[in-house]
């Protein structure tokens, strides 16, 4: 089993457990959506949650009247998303990602959210997936991307396999073991600007969270893009 297949298998297993079925939307996603797509006209906007997992952001979009789309590699995550949105009587479109090319038309979405997703892809996948996200986004469309920095605590528990790609080796002590054996791509700001150079506007911020008296530090880039 290669690292890509292993990642998919691990996510299938993780989404079976309640602790990985986050219920509430992230604050940065709420700010991005409401700040760029006015709620008074929400039904006019098509927004994709790329890597929708167990559906927390798809639910948030649908509950606020947006045309909500979700796409994920995990059939387990998609099944849970469909279940919870059916219970809440929400209209959503959820699809399975089975290749690096998404099955949407060119210039289809007004907005795209890819929150903590792209860093689970390897360099060659990123070469394909990022241009494809650009393709399906409308002109003047906006995208929110959260990427993992090399300042993240996981970087110290990872083995390089080249081109910015790493395998998490774990430490038997911290929650990094939830991602043990996963492939992870750690970004630099220089790489971000290079990979997203087609976008006419790139804004890069940082998001830092600490745990256990700063023993663990989640360190991510928060990138907003305009086509």
Q: Decide if 128 contacts 4 (C-beta within 8 A).
A: no
Helix (H) or strand (E) run with residue 160 in it: strand 158-162
Q: Supply the pTM of this predicted model.
A: 0.89
Domain ranges of the chain: 3-149+188-226
Q: What pLDDT is stored for residue 41 in this prediction?
A: 95
At 167-209, the pLDDT tens digits run 999 777 777 888 888 899 999 999 999 999 999 999 999 999 9
pLDDT of 142-161, one tens digit each? 999 999 999 999 999 999 99
Q: Which residues pair with 111 in a beta bridge?
A: 47, 142
pLDDT above 90: residue 58: yes
- With a cut of 50, say whether residue 6 has pLDDT above it: no
Residues 200-209: tens digit of each pLDDT: 999 999 999 9
Spatial separation of the C-alpha atoms in residues 220 and 98, rounded to whole Å: 26
* pLDDT at residue 8, as a whole number: 46
Residue 14: what pLDDT? 46
Could you tell me the CATH superfamily of domain 3-149+188-226?
A: Vaccinia Virus protein VP39 (3.40.50.150)
């Amino acid at each position: 089993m290669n690292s890509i297949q292993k990642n998919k298998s691990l996510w299938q297993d993780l989404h079976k457990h309640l602790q990985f079925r986050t219920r509430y939307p992230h604050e940065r996603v709420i700010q991005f959506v409401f700040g760029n797509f006015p709620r008074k006209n929400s039904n006019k906007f098509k927004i994709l949650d790329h890597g929708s997992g167990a559906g927390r952001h798809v639910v948030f979009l649908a509950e606020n009247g947006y045309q909500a789309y979700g796409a994920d590699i995990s059939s387990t995550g998609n099944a849970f998303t469909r279940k919870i949105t059916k219970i809440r009587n929400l209209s959503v479109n959820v699809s399975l990602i089975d290749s690096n090319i998404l099955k949407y038309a060119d210039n289809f979405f007004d907005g795209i959210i890819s929150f903590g997703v792209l860093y689970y892809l390897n360099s060659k996948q990123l070469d394909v997936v990022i241009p494809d996200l650009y393709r399906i986004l409308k002109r003047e469309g906006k995208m929110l991307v959260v990427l993992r920095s090399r300042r993240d605590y996981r970087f110290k528990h990872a083995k390089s396999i080249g081109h910015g790609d790493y395998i998490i080796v774990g430490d038997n002590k911290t929650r990094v073991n939830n991602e043990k054996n996963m492939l992870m791509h750690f970004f630099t700001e220089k790489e971000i600007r290079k990979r997203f150079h087609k976008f006419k506007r790139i804004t890069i911020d940082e998001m830092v969270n600490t745990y256990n008296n700063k023993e663990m530090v989640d360190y991510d880039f928060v990138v907003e893009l305009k086509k």
